[in-house]
């Protein structure tokens, strides 16, 4: 950024609320988008990072005023190892950066898209659900469980999560709701406890150590 003498501006909404997110991965999403904006920007340009509330999501947008992207090139952006043809020069857009960034946003229950005008610049937008939205979805799931399980016993929930803050949040919420809780911090432990404990429902993180969530689901 210093080499190109870029101005970096941050705009924060006063109405931002909590989100449930992996802090490391959210930081990676934003850094990847900022790095991409630097790559697209002309010298002495500007990059704007905006965070604002959009319905039940927090919208993070990174705007540059660089070369922009042709409409026929937009579909390539989120594919691994792609380039865009900007006149006489090619710019490597992603490597794996944007493909991974999109996947990380989706794993949070969110999305990533781009709005671009060739010759004027691009805005990459990542949307991540706020806590209130996640809580509403959790309530729907457990209401369904209540309707379909034996009411004579305490219902069991297996929380599979390697991040301490996420485990604590889910444990607190479900404990207050009256559920019996067991915790696993990796995929192997999750499979063992699921077989022995036979929970009514499992909350399963995808990015797990030892075995990821997809492997756990398959087994």
Q: How is the chain split into domains, by residue range?
A: 7-129, 139-218
CATH 3.40.50.2300 is held by the domain 139-218: yes
> Contact 41/47 with Cβ under 8 angstroms?
yes
| CB-CB contact of 40 with 1 (8 Å) | no
Q: Which of 23-32, 43-52, 123-132, 150-159 has the lowest mean pLDDT?
A: 150-159
* CB-count exposure of residue 187 (10 Å: 0-12, 13-18, 19+): buried
Decide if domain 7-129 falls under CATH 2.60.40.420.
Answer: no
Q: Which two tokens mark 217? A: 């689901």
Tell me the two tokens of residue 136.
Answer: 């509403």
User: What is the per-residue pLDDT across 166-211, written as a single tens digit (0 to 9) for each?
Assistant: 788 778 778 877 889 999 999 999 999 999 999 988 888 887 888 8
Could you report the per-residue pLDDT of 19-73, keeping only the tens digit for each?
767 777 888 899 989 988 888 888 888 999 999 988 888 999 999 998 888 887 7
Handedness of CA 99, 105, 106, 112 (dihedral sign): negative
């Amino acid at each position: 950024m210093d080499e190109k003498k870029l101005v970096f501006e941050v705009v924060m909404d006063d109405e931002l609320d909590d989100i449930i997110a992996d802090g490391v991965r959210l930081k990676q999403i934003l850094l990847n988008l900022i790095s991409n904006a630097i790559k697209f920007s002309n010298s002495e340009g500007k990059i704007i990072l905006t965070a604002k509330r959009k319905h039940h999501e927090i919208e993070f947008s990174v705007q540059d005023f660089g070369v922009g992207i042709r409409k026929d090139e937009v579909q390539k952006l989120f594919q691994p190892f792609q380039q865009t043809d900007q006149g006489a020069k090619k710019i490597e857009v992603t490597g794996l950066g944007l493909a991974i960034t999109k996947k990380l946003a989706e794993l949070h229950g969110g999305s990533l898209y781009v709005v671009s005008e060739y010759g004027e610049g691009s805005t990459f937008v990542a949307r991540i659900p706020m806590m209130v939205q996640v809580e509403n979805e959790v309530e729907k799931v457990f209401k369904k469980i209540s309707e379909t399980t034996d009411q004579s016993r305490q219902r069991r929930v297996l929380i599979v999560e390697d991040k301490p803050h996420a485990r604590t949040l889910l444990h607190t919420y479900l404990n207050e709701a009256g559920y019996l809780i067991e915790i696993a911090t990796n995929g192997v432990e999750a499979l063992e406890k699921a077989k022995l404990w036979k929970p009514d429902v499992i909350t399963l993180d995808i990015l797990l150590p030892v075995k990821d969530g997809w492997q756990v689901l398959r087994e």
